[in-house]
A and B are shown apart, each in its own frame.
Chain A
């Protein structure tokens, strides 16, 4: 199998998966901030372990 195909497909899948992972993580952070009502940056960093 062409090596460029393997590398290319790996890049595509990893990039797309990381994009999704960021979305899911970010979504959780937004929901958590909304639920807890914590707005202060230091408290958010502590509470969400950013």
Chain B
């Protein structure tokens, strides 16, 4: 596979800015599946069975799946051809421009905000439902739904505040949450099938199969459509995806099939689980409304109700968080285009979040959650998303016809244009049919669209910028055959010292050096917009390069990432880095971490050799080193310490002392034999072996360290965890020592099967 790194054009040739591509096919698929499952299925399943019956819900999900896969193919084609930070708004704007482009963004913003309201209401409905089962909270039965509203607003405010702080969950944690909720629902569905096989009498719930006519299925198809949107979030991640032309369309399609299968299983389980007793199945579900789904699962297996309630609570909070920052991103993009006031595109200096865009989205989320019943909120979100996807299906036809020859596709749908035409016709019918379910939702949508037209013709039309050219991400080969050393720098105080050691090693190894600074960009804005930050890093990186006196090939990079740790790890993998040189302040802020939380996580996930430099009190860049101490027991990581020492004595004309602390039971001869391999690595006149007998290894090494300029330690092997991380003895010495300490760790090429499975290398 071609090894490529995405880079963006820079005004300066000195520092190369690049976007951190971190999201694999797994991450992208789970991101989409998580957003789709969100909360719609928990709320809409019970209500829909109450409308269209037990067989109706299965037909609803199967047909919606078919419509969703048709739209997903349109979206996949667009996102593979336009792999910038795209979303529905971007694609429709490029296709139509003008008023339709504006209205699509206007609707997309509102749809995401309303979906956020729906998730807040789902959270409160299920939380109150759970609390009501305890006597202590029996008073919640009263209040005519006020408690749900208050809690919905409260949880929305909490997550809005979290977003204002620039904190969010993406990448691994979000993927794992999505995987968890998908697996939980899948298991519930499989249990439903198993129960039906063991007790076929439960299948009586499927009689009659169609409850109140075929036309009601069109209503529930429209009503549950919110559970089939969400894959567009994968398109938003275009600039963060690894191999986007292949992975984005695949993730969109995989997410849809995962979700359709899961929904069919859980809907079957819900029908099988219900115990109507004297009522029809439709009456039973209609009486329970949004929580009917949880009540049905409750009687399917022990703790089923609790499990599904907790799944709903987790899913809704995760989806709420994602929709808050997604809606802010859309309004931010509209502000940037001039379609909305420029204040929308302002980013707060402190937290680097689009504060005004977030505030405007927050007002919609809170207002809708507080003012409308859950059915109307869900129906409003449904209508908006149906209209958006309808426009997407028109856009895919228009873009292939008008711009297709100029674009590079990663996916082109078959049976074109039949598939998008079928999808848009179905979406048009479903959105119209939703009037039967909620006239309020159509009125709210209509008012929003009319207000959009007013804003466009009175404000935006004269201000909107001409269509921006599609951002071009120049592909270049980033991997050279030379030995690669990467130096991630953040702290300007010790950057000079770290880079000086890295350059010495690079000179000895004839290696290329990359000085890299990672700029963290909040999830609330696209990575490409992070370029407005980090100007001060240019100066630091150029200074480091200019200070290096050796004749070596040095590149400077500013890497934009939503997460510093992932930014470093993916950069090392993309470049097939051989050695990473990190600086360390010498202490961990929190207990339980060896070198510090971020540092530990980087070390744990690196798949190359590592050198951690902790500058001593008398250290300064370019200082001459006369004497090197290598405390060693000839362990695996001592090889690395020896290699680094060999590199440094070449450049400094230094001597080396290999030092070991003997246990009482060991003989001197045995230790000498063991350490001979290390001593023999150095010129005879430069190296000596020193053995002392003591019970306190750390104190002896610290005492000896005073006689030398630097210590080079290999990670000790003190058990499984310490084999993976740096050993405890090394860390204690490094923390206490006044001299410069270099900790080294040889890549052991060992990763857990889970990590190998999840973190499949695709560069």
Complex partner residue of A44 from B208, B209, B246, B409, CB under 8 angstroms: B409
Asked if residues A50 and B250 are in contact (CB atoms below 8 Å), the reply is no
B residues in contact with A5, CB < 8 Å: 55, 206, 209
Asked if residues A22 and B73 are in contact (CB atoms below 8 Å), the reply is yes
Contact size range, A: 20 to 34
Known contacts A8-B58, A25-B414, A26-B414: does B209 contact A40 (CB below 8 Å)?
no
Asked if residues A50 and B414 are in contact (CB atoms below 8 Å), the reply is yes
Docked CA distance A37–B210 (Å): 49
Asked if residues B257 and A29 are in contact (CB atoms below 8 Å), the reply is no
Residues of B463-486 at the interface with A, using a CB-CB cut-off of 8 Å, are: none
Asked if residues B412 and A41 are in contact (CB atoms below 8 Å), the reply is yes
Residue-by-residue, is B697-738 near A (CB-CB < 8 Å gives 1, otherwise 0)? 000000000000000000000000000000000000000000
Docked CA distance A5–B716 (Å): 68
Complex partner residue of A41 from B62, B209, B405, B414, CB under 8 angstroms: B405
Asked if residues A41 and B260 are in contact (CB atoms below 8 Å), the reply is no
Q: Which residue of A lies closest to B68 (CB)?
A: A19
Residue-by-residue, is B185-222 near A (CB-CB < 8 Å gives 1, otherwise 0)? 00000000000000000000011111000000000000
Asked if residues B76 and A26 are in contact (CB atoms below 8 Å), the reply is yes
Q: Which residue of A lies closest to B411 (CB)?
A: A30
Interface presence of B400 (CB below 8 A)? yes
Asked if residues B249 and A26 are in contact (CB atoms below 8 Å), the reply is yes
Docked CA distance A50–B416 (Å): 8
Known contacts A2-B209, A22-B73: does B66 contact A29 (CB below 8 Å)?
no
Interface presence of B410 (CB below 8 A)? yes
Residues of B in contact (CB 8 Å), total: 42
Interface presence of B565 (CB below 8 A)? no
Complex partner residue of B412 from A16, A27, A44, CB under 8 angstroms: A44
Docked CA distance A11–B404 (Å): 35
Asked if residues A30 and B208 are in contact (CB atoms below 8 Å), the reply is no
Residue-by-residue, is B389-426 near A (CB-CB < 8 Å gives 1, otherwise 0)? 00000000000100011011111111110010000000
Asked if residues A39 and B408 are in contact (CB atoms below 8 Å), the reply is yes
Asked if residues B249 and A30 are in contact (CB atoms below 8 Å), the reply is yes
Interface presence of B47 (CB below 8 A)? no
Asked if residues B409 and A16 are in contact (CB atoms below 8 Å), the reply is no
B residues in contact with A2, CB < 8 Å: 207-209
Residue-by-residue, is B476-506 near A (CB-CB < 8 Å gives 1, otherwise 0)? 0000000000000000000000000000000
Docked CA distance A30–B419 (Å): 17
Complex partner residue of B410 from A33, A40, A45, CB under 8 angstroms: A33
Asked if residues B413 and A26 are in contact (CB atoms below 8 Å), the reply is yes
B residues in contact with A31, CB < 8 Å: 246
Interface presence of B324 (CB below 8 A)? no
Nearest CB in chain A: distance from B54 CB, A: 10
A residues in contact with B63, CB < 8 Å: 11, 15
Residues of A1-50 at the interface with B, using a CB-CB cut-off of 8 Å, are: 2, 4-5, 8-9, 11-13, 15-16, 18-20, 22-23, 25-27, 29-31, 33-34, 39-42, 44-45, 48, 50
Known contacts A4-B209, A48-B412: does B65 contact A15 (CB below 8 Å)?
yes
B residues in contact with A41, CB < 8 Å: 400, 404-405, 407, 409, 412
Complex partner residue of B62 from A11, A27, A44, CB under 8 angstroms: A11
B residues in contact with A29, CB < 8 Å: 411-414
Interface presence of B245 (CB below 8 A)? yes
Q: Which residue of A lies closest to B404 (CB)?
A: A41
Q: Which residue of A lies closest to B2 (CB)?
A: A37
Residue picked from B76, B80, B207, B412, most chain A C-beta under 10 Å = B412
Interface presence of B82 (CB below 8 A)? no
Nearest CB in chain B: distance from A41 CB, A: 4
Q: Which residue of A lies closest to B206 (CB)?
A: A5
Interface presence of B160 (CB below 8 A)? no
Nearest CB in chain A: distance from B65 CB, A: 5
Residue contacts A-B, CB under 8 angstroms, 23 given: A2-B209, A8-B210, A11-B62, A12-B58, A12-B264, A13-B62, A15-B59, A16-B260, A19-B65, A22-B69, A22-B253, A23-B253, A26-B413, A29-B411, A29-B413, A30-B80, A33-B245, A33-B246, A39-B409, A40-B405, A41-B400, A50-B415, A50-B416
Given A8-B55, A40-B409; 13 other pairs, CB 8 A cutoff: A2-B207, A2-B208, A5-B206, A11-B62, A11-B63, A15-B59, A19-B65, A23-B257, A26-B414, A39-B245, A39-B409, A40-B408, A50-B412
Chain B contact residues, CB within 8 Å of chain A? 55-56, 58-59, 62-63, 65-66, 69-70, 73, 76, 80, 206-210, 245-246, 249-250, 253-254, 256-257, 260, 264, 400, 404-405, 407-416, 419
